[in-house]
Structure 1
Amino acid sequence: MKKIKFAVLLVFLFTSFYNYSQQGPGGKPKVKVTGKVFEKVSKQPLEYATISIMAPNDTKVIAGGITNPKGEFEVAVAPGTYDIKIEFISFKSTEIKQKSITGDTNLGAVNLSEDAAQLNEVVVRAEKSTVEIKLDKKVYNVGQDMIVKGGSVSDVLDNVPSVSVDTEGNVSLRGSDNIRILIDGRPSQAINMAEALRQLPADAIDKVEVITNPSARYDAEGGSGIINIILKKGKNQGFNGTLIASTGLPETYGLSANVNYKTEKLNYFTTAGYNYRTNEGAGKTNSEYFDTNKTTTSFLDETRDTKRVRNGFNGRAGVEWTLTPTTFWTNAINYQNNTGDDRDLINYYNYDANRVFTGTSYRLNNADTGSENVEFTSNLIKNFNDKGHKLTADLSISRNTDDSNSTITASPNFNTTLNDQVQKQVLAQVDYVLPLGKGGQFEAGYKGSFGDLNNIYNVSNLDSNGQSVTDPNLSNTLEYKENINALYTQYGFKVNKFSYLFGLRWEDTNIQVNLLDNSDYNTKKYNNLFPSAFVSYEISDQSNFSASYSKRLSRPRGRFMNPAVNYASNINIFQGNPDLDPSLTDKYDIGYIKRWDKVTFNTSAYFENTKDVFSFVRSPTGNVVTPDGEVVTPQPGETVEGTPVIKSSPINLGREQKFGFEFTFNYTPYKWWKLNSNFNFFNVKTTGENSYTDTQGKVIVQDLDNQANSWFARINSKVTLPYKIDWQLTAMYNGEQKTAQGKNLGQFGMNTALSKDVMKDKATIAFNISDVFNSRKMRSDTYLDNVSSYSEFQFRKRQFNLSFTYRFNKPKGERDKNMPKNNDGGGDGGGEFPG
């Protein structure tokens, strides 16, 4: 009863506060002043334009607001006579003098034109926040972040709220790697996503959008959400650009350029960069082995030392053509070429049951890697009017190759491996948007994705005559074909302070997984409906409440399905599972956002229910590695002195239920100090089991039921010191998490950077340190029936980087003034709430 009374009291207080906020001085009810702000030439809406309402002939602002992505604004004031000023950076402001406001007033369309005088000056302009919090997504502006200067896209993502990047480059969102990564709204076609993100320079990125609960307009894939990486596209008039040079330790060099030339009809843009990167890493695994009676039989300590060197070139060139004032056609070619050398040395130290040293061996893997990615993209937009009625068409054709040749030397064995992959992909998409009435919008579209991957994997051993012989148990040729056709429709509308968006997507999937060497052919066909629903309530101009639901899907890809054995270690191996099924997720999200003058606060609670979730399980293979390094399979009754070989593979576990809540907080206490932070806590419950048959023909059942709590936090501080020196500091911590077969331990990391503008603000010098305390190590404990182990691995040790940026004909921090004609997200953009 006390709880009910307390709840009623809260509702009463909230209602009283809300009613008070809707009244002006003296208790007068407030009225609304609305309108839209556009760029005069292109008729594109201007987001973040400011509206100030003042008393006549007075500079003190009585009320104000900013425009949303559609250029719309709404400001509440008491009835009266006011001066109204509409402003946007680098545009001529517009003033409405002595405007009588007696009731709700619509100012209509306000067109702003560029200020030529400001365009010709190179001055420091107001910067957007590093992180912008919106109702349905978070936007991370890369240009404001000094820490990523000279880095890669992986460094960028590691600073984005809600996103984490582990030491191996794997990306997760809200603690889950079940996500979809897009580049300019299109799925990345890279074969090795983690490696591709490390090769793409941060300087090529404009911003990153994090969409935790996408609408039906987006691909259904990505159970935990979508990360959209938006590349830079120059939009400034005339010839302008940026040059960036960087160097660092361990040995790292980089040189890149972003150049743009814009005329009335054509906009040419290009990005090119070369980088040489050295990543040094280390790791270890300490294992204790048991017999069936749980008595210790032996110990094995592994130490690992890695060094990866990459030479990479990245280029992008394109042109946007204004065919008519309402029709725009953009074509671009993206090209990446990377080569590298990998050195991976593992030392094994053997001990008996009493921890007495018995011998040592080693395994050295030297690999040459290479990849080449070519993609052509085309985007056509037809605007039927300036109210959002439009048709867009997108086409993407790509070819990606990824080759790796390794020589594995172990005492006394010698192996070679060959891994050649070729992937071809075609994407086609059409989207139609039709505004209906006041605040209504209808959307529909089609998307086709057609891919073909061929993977040749070969492991060779030396026979007794010293001849190289292919190992048929470890070699194979994989053919993977994936054809997906999708249709979607959604309708959004607004009623008073409520906004609604309802959608439905249908996807038909046809996948072939064929092992050509042993004539093993697998075909998976399925089609699914993916509904989505979003509701938001505008409490006031500065606060909103939202609730959403969507059904998502995750298809197994890449290393998950490839049955080729990862032969980097002959004791702990990884093997994909070509019989994996997709997992389906129901996502629920409730969010609240509140803005003050210096603070933006966003919180959300979420629940995800996933069927057939992917999970990694570890089990003994029945093989052992003898003290001289040879892998053998004991026969029944035969005793072999050696170390058991443990295999890790993905399976469809059963069900995973995840509940969590998240806070994102932006605070600017002073003009010289900006803070943003993110905290996420979640509980994960998994249910399921795994069965396998051991070498004795006995069926072993592993109970994989597990429930665990975990959390992660990140805080970013940017301070302007004397002499206009900027200092940025970022710290993050991933909490410990229990797993079905052990636990992942906590991880802490800190990055810092200093920056100074020089040459009359035309250039910037930045120095950053990644992983200041050299503490970002992936650590875990594993407990199996016959082995207990502790592992840690550090993909990249502490790094130092120095960069120099020079801007010509382009002001520092200047916002693109001719707004993009398309949605920045390319074929999968949009998804805003109707307004």
Structure 2
Amino acid sequence: MKKITLLILLISFTAFAQRTTKDKPSKITLTGKVLETKSKQPLEYATLVITNTNTQQVIGGVTGAKGSFSIDASSGTYNIKVEFIGFKTKNLGNYNLTESKSLGTILLSEDAETLNEVEVIAEKSTVEIRLDKKIYNVGKDMTVKGGNASDVLDNVPSVNVDAEGAVSLRGNENVRILIDGKPSALVGLTGTDALRNLPADAIEKVEVITSPSARYDAEGTAGILNIILRKGKITGFNGSVNLTVGTPDMLRVSPNLNYRTKKFNIFSNLAYSYRKGPGNSQSFFTNFDDNGIISDYRNEDRTFDRKNNNYNGSLGVEYYINKKNSITGSFFYRNSKDDDIATNKTTFYNENKVFTDNEVRIENEKEDSIDKQYSLNYTNNIDEKGQKLTIDLQYSDSDESEPAEIIVDGVLSEQNSQTTTSKDRLLQIDYVLPIGENSQFEVGHKATLQDLNSDFRVRDAFGNPLPNDPSNAIEFKQYIYAFYSQYGSKIDKFSYLLGLRTEITDIDLTVFTTDQFKEKNYTEWFPTVNLGYEINEGDNVSLGYSRRLRRPRHWFLNPFESRSSATNVFRGNPDLDPTFTNSFDLGYNTRISKFNLGASLYYQYSTNIIQRVSTLEERDVNGVLTDVTVRQPVNLNDEDRYGFEFTTNYNPTKKIRLSASFNYFKFNTGAFTYVYTASNGSQITTELEEVNNSSWFARFNSRVTLPWKVQWQTRLMYRGPQSDAQSDREGMFMANLALSRDLFKEKASLVLNVSDLFNSRKRESITYLGGRNNPSSISEGAFQWRERQITLSFTYRFNQKKKSERSGRNGDFDGGGEGF
């Protein structure tokens, strides 16, 4: 790497000396672009070596982010070569240059012999800008070492992960999460919670897609987060092993092994982890009678004692049939065993805050889940111009069992169980047709079929149904058939990508215990427009539009009630309808020397937004009429959401790397009257007033190299306060700290990481049940999913050298994507 840097400096100095010569020949300019042969992706930092055949003087230059170059020279005869780390040097021969000339598109092929010098894990986190997405390479982010996928996402600009693990993009929680471009068993039946079991070391990069093109699923009104897993790129046998220990109790072993030859690439990501996850929550309720006078108080303190044993592994084989065709098969397996104890201490007070009663309710839930996924991919690079056909087949099988015992004041009260099975099938076909040098047409089809069954049983201590039996069983079927086409082109500095997608949705929901049958069938069209203009090599502007939707997931439709608390429950709503959103995004990116800046303005208009609403219902609890809080997702009115964000990177020296991001958003939701039918058949009306509110969040990240090559990384995050129709949420601050040192001639790394340094990652809020103007109850609460975590992580790499990976492949528009 040092030799290449010196060569570039020498070339630059020689070129400068030539330009200052007094009697110089006429000036000419060489232009062109350097691309990778197979993917047609631009190669940034490729070096052009231009040698004068008469004087043997050397001039040259380096390609920019788009793979393009523009080099000034004097007229004469030159030998021209193009070099790039890990690729075969291309000698273009001799040229007699008397006037400016374009060398056109130069294609470089990977060199299998020199690939051993390219490290799989990039030295630094980088950002790649595409017309329809931003790609964040995880790199050597120390604050996620020993962590999981949720920790990685929480470190990506524009993304937040709250105290419960819910992922949001620009403040909107309806974000679609994909693995390697497709729905995956890694996400599991429980949504984003399952990401906590995916180790961070298995992730290579995250694609943030706020203005998705027609190639992507229309699901996710906020956009898409696509997690790309690592796959070996080095010939021979190589890999790494990570061992992490921590407090609260935590142990993780995760080897990543890879073997590659000219015909085969065998890759694997394995992990075993054991961890305890202590958490807590507090809720204080002030209840009012019909005249608005305080009737009583209730305090609930919960502690969560979680134990998790998790094993997951993936094994894949890629077979290169020939230079143009390859087939990849992979298998994923996860077995997760949880033992969770939730202790809920409830204290009751009268209107004068005088103690009247108390109750200790313990839920001991054991969860055993097995997820399996089989994937098959066929890729045919039909010609060197970029014509490409890909076919994906995927089958997933998930089985989850959750038996639970509920003990009230030391006596067994309930024996509950829930079993959920899901079978998912996927077929996807994509075809890419280049038209000329700068245009591309794409067409594709995708079918996603899900069959899910969930059986929830509630029994008393003797195995008998309760008087008002809350048990239920559902059958959920969701079949989605999608077709799309899109056309992209570049005219000089202007790029555009226009697409149209249609999705045919068939949903059947059967609730057996109440003999309900819900059927929703609809066909919708989703146009997309992405425009880009390259002002110069370092500045570009983009404009995107897309129409998207949010389909209710099965756990939002299932009407069963949670049982960990008798007075604070959640239940699904089988009457939910999808949310539709029109999104606009205007972006600007600039690069000035060591400083990078990205800025975006965005606007979203959504109809039938889905939001959780809390109501107060009077029920018989242990023979006493008690106010019970019932939370349920409902369709509210339309919502306008708009905001802006900034992301910056500044590297003043090789030893200091700084980055920051800031996001501000404002939203408006109309007033809404919600009518809820209580368990006794009575109607409860809740008036939700209009919401016109804003919020913001900011991040700052620094990495400093200390003496003795110790690296120190600090990450700070603050999320501003936010309000909705029923609640006010306080701001939240969090800090992570990490120290790292490479060992054994940089074959190993030792990382000390403190996550949530000040133990401040808590959600604090006030909820007004029944509406803000005339509440029937006010709840003040705080929730902490997990407490401060300290980990020590050791990683050993074998047959991997410590040179930076020079990917740098920034396309004008993505022609095929990561399996989309």
Contact 2:730 2:763 in 1 (8 A): yes
In 1, Cα distance between equivalents of 2:388 and 2:468: 56
In 2, Cα distance between equivalents of 1:434 and 1:124: 31
Contact 2:591 2:597 in 1 (8 A): yes
How do residues 59-74 of structure 1 correspond to structure 2 at under 5 angstroms? 64-68=62-66, 72-74=67-69
Residues 1:125 and 1:616: Cα distance change in structure 2 (over 3 Å): closer
Given candidates 83, 86, 108, the residue that maps to 1:111 is: 108
Aligned twin of 2:674: 690
Aligned twin of 2:660: 677
How do residues 218-297 of structure 1 correspond to structure 2 at under 5 angstroms? 218-297=216-295
How do residues 600-639 of structure 1 correspond to structure 2 at under 5 angstroms? 600-623=596-619, 625=621, 630=622
Contact 1:236 1:817 in 2 (8 A): no
Residues 1:64 and 1:596: Cα distance change in structure 2 (over 3 Å): farther
CA drift of 1:107 comes to 4.4
Q: How far does the alpha carbon of each residue in 1:194-237 deviate from its partner, in whole angstroms, 9 at most, with x for none?
A: 22101111121111111111000111111110000111111210
CA drift of 1:101 comes to 7.5
CA drift of 1:276 comes to 0.5
Pair 1:328 & 2:312 matched:
no
In 2, Cα distance between equivalents of 1:35 and 1:130: 22
1:187 aligns to what SS in structure 2?
A: coil
Given candidates 149, 155, 164, the residue that maps to 2:151 is: 155
Give the counterpart letter for 1:807 in structure 2: R
2:160 aligns to what SS in structure 1?
A: strand
Give the counterpart letter for 1:793 in structure 2: F
In 1, Cα distance between equivalents of 2:786 and 2:273: 17
Pair 1:185 & 2:181 matched:
yes
In 1, Cα distance between equivalents of 2:814 and 2:546: 23
TM-score using structure 2 length = 0.90
In 2, Cα distance between equivalents of 1:83 and 1:148: 47
Contact 1:83 1:99 in 2 (8 A): no
How do residues 449-460 of structure 1 correspond to structure 2 at under 5 angstroms? 449-460=448-459
Aligned twin of 2:444: 445
Pair 1:142 & 2:138 matched:
yes
Contact 1:624 1:645 in 2 (8 A): no
How do residues 309-458 of structure 1 correspond to structure 2 at under 5 angstroms? 309-411=307-409, 414-458=413-457
CA drift of 1:132 comes to 4.0
In 2, Cα distance between equivalents of 1:615 and 1:342: 27
CA drift of 1:32 comes to 6.5
In 1, Cα distance between equivalents of 2:143 and 2:345: 35
In 1, Cα distance between equivalents of 2:385 and 2:213: 21
Higher mean C-alpha displacement, 194-203 vs 387-396: 194-203
Identity of aligned residues (%): 40
Residues 1:280 and 1:383: Cα distance change in structure 2 (over 3 Å): same
Contact 2:125 2:138 in 1 (8 A): no
Residues 1:317 and 1:650: Cα distance change in structure 2 (over 3 Å): same
In 2, Cα distance between equivalents of 1:795 and 1:125: 31
Pair 1:789 & 2:779 matched:
yes
Given candidates 705, 729, 732, the residue that maps to 2:690 is: 705
In 1, Cα distance between equivalents of 2:57 and 2:657: 27
Give the counterpart letter for 1:89 in structure 2: I
- Which segments of 5 or more consecutive residues in structure 1 lack a partner in the other structure? 1-23, 633-639, 831-835
Residues 1:829 and 1:121: Cα distance change in structure 2 (over 3 Å): closer
CA drift of 1:321 comes to 0.5
In 1, Cα distance between equivalents of 2:449 and 2:125: 39
Aligned twin of 2:760: 775
Given candidates 14, 35, 38, the residue that maps to 2:36 is: 38
1:566 aligns to what SS in structure 2?
A: coil
Give the counterpart letter for 2:346 in structure 1: Y
CA drift of 1:459 comes to 1.3
In 1, Cα distance between equivalents of 2:56 and 2:350: 87
Q: How far does the alpha carbon of each residue in 1:653-677 deviate from its partner, in whole angstroms, 9 at most, with x for none?
A: 1201100101111111111111122
Aligned twin of 2:717: 732
CA drift of 1:289 comes to 1.2
2:513 aligns to what SS in structure 1?
A: coil
Aligned twin of 1:3: none
Contact 2:118 2:803 in 1 (8 A): no
Q: How far does the alpha carbon of each residue in 1:452-508 deviate from its partner, in whole angstroms, 9 at most, with x for none?
A: 00000111124xxx5533565411001000111010000111222211111000110
Residues 1:293 and 1:55: Cα distance change in structure 2 (over 3 Å): farther
Contact 2:286 2:779 in 1 (8 A): yes
Give the counterpart letter for 2:337 in structure 1: T
Contact 1:486 1:508 in 2 (8 A): yes
In 2, Cα distance between equivalents of 1:651 and 1:758: 55
In 1, Cα distance between equivalents of 2:517 and 2:39: 54
Higher mean C-alpha displacement, 46-55 vs 257-266: 46-55
Give the counterpart letter for 1:733 in structure 2: Y
Contact 2:40 2:386 in 1 (8 A): no
Aligned twin of 2:14: none
Give the counterpart letter for 1:254 in structure 2: R
Aligned twin of 2:796: 806
2:761 aligns to what SS in structure 1?
A: coil
Given candidates 519, 522, 527, the residue that maps to 1:523 is: 519
In 2, Cα distance between equivalents of 1:342 and 1:301: 22
How do residues 48-63 of structure 1 correspond to structure 2 at under 5 angstroms? 48-51=44-47
- Which segments of 5 or more consecutive residues in structure 2 lack a partner in the other structure? 1-18, 770-774
2:152 aligns to what SS in structure 1?
A: helix
Give the counterpart letter for 2:457 in structure 1: N
In 2, Cα distance between equivalents of 1:273 and 1:489: 39
Given candidates 509, 518, 541, the residue that maps to 1:513 is: 509
TM-score using structure 1 length = 0.88
Aligned twin of 2:160: 164
Residues 1:35 and 1:791: Cα distance change in structure 2 (over 3 Å): same
CA drift of 1:689 comes to 3.0
1:203 aligns to what SS in structure 2?
A: helix
Aligned twin of 2:635: 652
Contact 2:85 2:806 in 1 (8 A): no
In 2, Cα distance between equivalents of 1:767 and 1:58: 52
In 2, Cα distance between equivalents of 1:174 and 1:32: 43
CA drift of 1:622 comes to 2.7
CA drift of 1:387 comes to 1.8
Give the counterpart letter for 1:692 in structure 2: Y
2:481 aligns to what SS in structure 1?
A: strand
Contact 1:690 1:704 in 2 (8 A): no
Residues 1:526 and 1:772: Cα distance change in structure 2 (over 3 Å): same
2:632 aligns to what SS in structure 1?
A: strand
